[in-house]
Amino acid sequence: MHIGKRHKSLIDGVDVMSFCSDRSFPRHTHEEFSIGVMTERGHDCWCCRGLVEVGAGDVIGINPGEVHDGLGRKDAPRAWHMITISQNAMAKLIDGRPEDAEFSAPVFQEAKVSELVLTSVSVAMQSDAHAEELEQRLRLICA
C-alpha cells in the first residue's frame, strides 16, 4: 500500500507532502533539503551515517545529495509528513548560502522541531493558508 499527497505549494521551492506506505524505497538522493516527522509506526533507514531506526514522533532530516533508503515493514504501513526545501529557498530562509545549512543528524528527537513541522504541514493543508505563516515556521525550523 502506498498513498502520497502533495499539499498546495505556498512558497516557491517548498513542497509539503504526506505519506502512508509499507513500501520500501531503494537507495537514492534528492537535490533538496528534506525535513519531516514520522507520525505512525516507523521504518529502518540506511543513510550515509549508517543504519538508523525512525519511530513515531521522530524528526527526519536529509541534506541534498545524501544517499538514503527507507525500509517499510510488511503489513505495518507507516505514516509521515515531509517538507522539501530547494537550495535556493533554503538560502532565503536562512539569509545565507545553502552550503551553510545542514541537518546535523538523519533522525532526532526534538519536540519543538517536530511540532513546528507538524504545524507547517497543517498550515499548508488549510484552504485559506498564507505563505507568511509557513515561512515563519520554516525559518524557526531552519534556525
Alpha helices, H only, the chain = 87-94, 111-125, 131-142
Q: What local confidence, expressed as pLDDT, does residue 33 receive?
A: 96
Write down the mean pLDDT value for the chain: 91
Angle (CA) 13 142 37, round 5°:
85
Q: Report residue 25 as a C-alpha cell.
A: 524505497
| Neighbour count for residue 35 (Cβ, 10 Å) | 22
pLDDT tens digits, 75-111: 789 999 999 999 999 999 999 888 888 888 888 899 9
- Quick check: 27 pLDDT over 90? yes
Q: Please classify residue 137 by burial: count the beta carbons closer than 10 Å to its beta carbon, then call 0-12 exposed, 13-18 middle and 19+ buried.
A: buried
DSSP single-letter state for residue 71: B
pTM: 0.91
Q: What local confidence, expressed as pLDDT, does residue 84 receive?
A: 96
